[in-house]
Every structure is written in C-alpha cells, then in structure tokens.
Amino acid sequence: MHRRRTRILHYGSPPITYGSAGFYKFVTSVLSKNNVRHTHTLNLYPESFDVEYFTWTKWTFYKIDVKKVYLLDFPILLSTLVKKAVDKDIIITLGFPAIIELAVLMFIAKIRSIPIFVRDTHWYWPRTRISKFLWPIYFKLLKHVDGILCPGLASCNYWRRYGFEKVYIVHYYALEARMMECNLRSEEIRHRLGIRNDEIVILYLGRLVKKKGVDIVISAFSKLISENPTRNIKLIIAGEGPERKRLEEICNKLGLVGKTVFLGAVPEKNKKCIYKASDIFVYVPVVAEIPEEWPIAPLEAMSLGIPTIISTAVGSLPDISQGVVAVKWGNVVELYKAMRYIIENRKLKDYLSKVASHIYKSIASETRVKIELLNAIVTSLKKRYE
C-alpha cells in the first residue's frame, strides 16, 4: 500500500520589491528559468516530504515601496495562503514583519491541529516605529508555535534568553552563498578590471547604503595608503545604492582617485569572478534600526578561501568567527589594523583562507541543513505529543 507523504507549506521570503537587495537574485535565479516558485531556500527538505514552496511573486516588478505593495496585493495574497494551507500537514512560515500572515496561518494550524513553525532571523529588538507596537504582539504569537527556526547561533541564543524553549538552528540562509561558476582565471579577471597582478585587492561587495559602513572601509583604506603611499593596493567597491555619490566624493577628498574602483551593481553570473579577483574581503556594517541578520556576502567570500574581515554588527559572527577577523563596528582604526595585519602576515592569510573554506563547507552543506530541519521537526513533534 502506497503511503502518502507528509505535506508541507513553506511560505517564502518577505516582499521582494523593485531594486531591493533580493530583486536581481530573484530575477536571475527564478524568472529567467520561467519558474514562478521562489528558490530562496533551495532544497531544505528531505525527499520524504511533499513540499510546496510559496512566495507572492506578483509584487516583484512594482516600482514602489513595501507598504504600498501590501496595500495592492495583500487581500489576494492572504486568500491564496489560506487555500494553500488548508490541505497541508505542517506549515513553515515567516516571522516578523509578516505578522498578519503568521496570525492567519496560526489560526488555520490551530483549527486543523497541525504543527506550525516560524523562521526568524532576529538577534535584536528592531528600532523601527512599527516594531514598538508589533514586537510585543509577535512575542505572544511565538509562544504558541511548535518551533522557531533560526539561521544561526545569535538568533537562537536571543530567543532562548527570552524564555523560548522550542528554538532550533537550521542554517538555511547559508545555502544562498552558492554562486554561479566563473571559468575565468583570477589573472584574466584582474586584467579586465585594470588591476595589476602585483596589486593587493581589498573588496567590498554589497548595497551602498549607510548601514553597510562603506565610508568606514574607505577611511581605513585611506590610512593604509597614507601610511605607505608606495604600497600596491587597490580598493574595489562593488554594488549600487543611494550612498554611491557621497562615497565617491569621500574618495576624491581623501585623494584616492586611481586607488579605488566603483564597479556598480554586479550581476549574479559575474559575482564569483569579482570575488576571485580579490585578496581580502571587507564587510563592516554598523548598528542601525535593523542590523545585519545573516548577510550572504561574507560566506560567499569564505567559500573561495578569501580572508574576510567583518564587524561585530553582523548576526552570523558567532557561526563563522573562527574563520574571519572581527572588528568593532564603526571603528576605523581597528579595521585599518586588521587590513594591515592580513596584508603583512602571510601565515595569518593562509590560515584564514583554509579555515574559511572549511567553515563554508560545513554550514553551507545541503545535507547538514536537511538534517537540522528534520531534527527540529521531529523533536518538536515529540514534545507536542508527549
């Protein structure tokens, strides 16, 4: 007799709006394949489950902000979610800020007596105005779910500090660090970028917004140059955003013309090539209303064994700390010293390269993620029916 597989509804990522951080990856990895599902989480589940991934893709090309997207699409989104949830055995959904969707899916789960899990990345209390009102409500809702699935230690420890016991680490975000192959040699890439083979390349790749701390990277780089003007070193800033003009002006004022290169937005297909051209990767965001929860860029760099410097404002730090150099967020001097130390210390550079690759292979393993998720579901179900 054929046994029916357990049916899971996996509600995907928050709104992907036009020009946002996830927009270009979405277009490349999903729409280019004529696939309406969002592959944001790749293959998280063992083959024994019948999984329906769902993310509302209609809002992708609206050139408007998230609030207006919700006003336009929310009624249809909600009705679609309800239809998809009513025949499932397990629901795995987003947490804050998708609080209304969470409440509706929890209601369905309670009526049907099925388990519901929430994916949450927070390791802090958000400082936005709306969170002052919604965050306490969200806490109360989470008291009634079967498990909180966190992408790493920082988030897991955060929820446990507040007394939540059904908290599980599933490194689902780590799988996003996979990149399209780059068949070019690093020497050829450098030549195309106008970089000499004897130049040391420091790379930043990400959005050019204030909370990313790119101005701090530029200031620390300037100290390196002023300390030794003859040093063959170049800073590549890859990415686009509202801060670009201001950052270019800072470079001009500091006399870094010719020492810095602004590449603009990097297509997904070219991302790995840009990393391969670099010697050090720097990612030092600062604490803002919404800190960095689990950035993908550091893990992308680590996957290629590139020595990586990150700040203490990065939520993934506890999971990758053994393979990176961490500096206090907002501290130009610490960042400058870290850059200089890696440049001048070959043994440290080789060590970081080796350990970074090992950490990436460990936490970005699809097999490991599937085991972590299966363990979370099974453990929670045991507690539920004890």
Q: pLDDT in tens for each of the 386 residues of the chain?
A: 456 789 999 998 655 555 555 666 665 655 554 443 334 445 788 888 999 998 877 766 677 776 677 778 888 889 999 999 999 999 999 998 888 899 999 999 999 999 999 999 999 887 778 888 888 999 999 999 999 999 999 999 999 999 999 999 999 989 889 888 999 998 999 999 999 888 999 999 999 999 999 999 999 999 999 998 888 999 999 999 999 999 999 999 999 988 999 999 998 889 999 999 999 999 999 988 778 888 999 999 999 999 999 999 999 999 999 999 999 999 999 999 999 999 999 999 999 999 999 999 999 999 999 999 999 999 998 888 77
68-76: long-range pairs with CB below 8 Å, 24+: 69/15, 69/17, 70/15, 74/100
Kindly state the tokens that stand for 5: 């597989």
Backbone φ, ψ for residue 366 (5° rounding) = -60, -35
Contact between residue 159 and residue 169 where contact means Cβ atoms under 8 Å apart:
no
Task: Answer whether 0.75 is exceeded by the pTM.
Answer: yes
In tens, the pLDDT along 91-141 reads 999 998 888 899 999 999 999 999 999 999 999 887 778 888 888 999 999
Residue 348 and residue 342: Cα distance in Å, rounded?
6
Contact between residue 282 and residue 311 where contact means Cβ atoms under 8 Å apart:
no
Residue 20 and residue 23: Cα distance in Å, rounded?
5
Distances (CA, A) of 374 to 44, 94, 168, 325, 368: 9, 18, 11, 33, 10
Q: Treating both helix axes as pointing N-terminal to C-terminal, what angle do 346-363 and 332-344 enclose, rounded to 10 degrees? A: 100
Distances (CA, A) of 119 to 97, 248, 332: 11, 38, 34
Say how many Å lie between the first and final Cα of the chain, rounded: 29
Could you count the other beta carbons within 10 Å of the beta carbon of residue 214?
27
- Domains (range + CATH), the chain: 6-177+365-384 (3.40.50), 186-363 (3.40.50.2000)
DSSP 226-252: HH-TT--EEEEEE---TTHHHHHHHHH
Residues 145, 147, 152, 153, Cα dihedral to 10°:
100
> In the Cβ-directed half-sphere of 200, how many Cα atoms lie within 13 Å?
19
Q: Give the bridge partners for 311, in sequence order.
A: 327
Could you count the other beta carbons within 10 Å of the beta carbon of residue 281?
24
Contact between residue 93 and residue 131 where contact means Cβ atoms under 8 Å apart:
no
* Element (DSSP H or E) covering residue 199: none
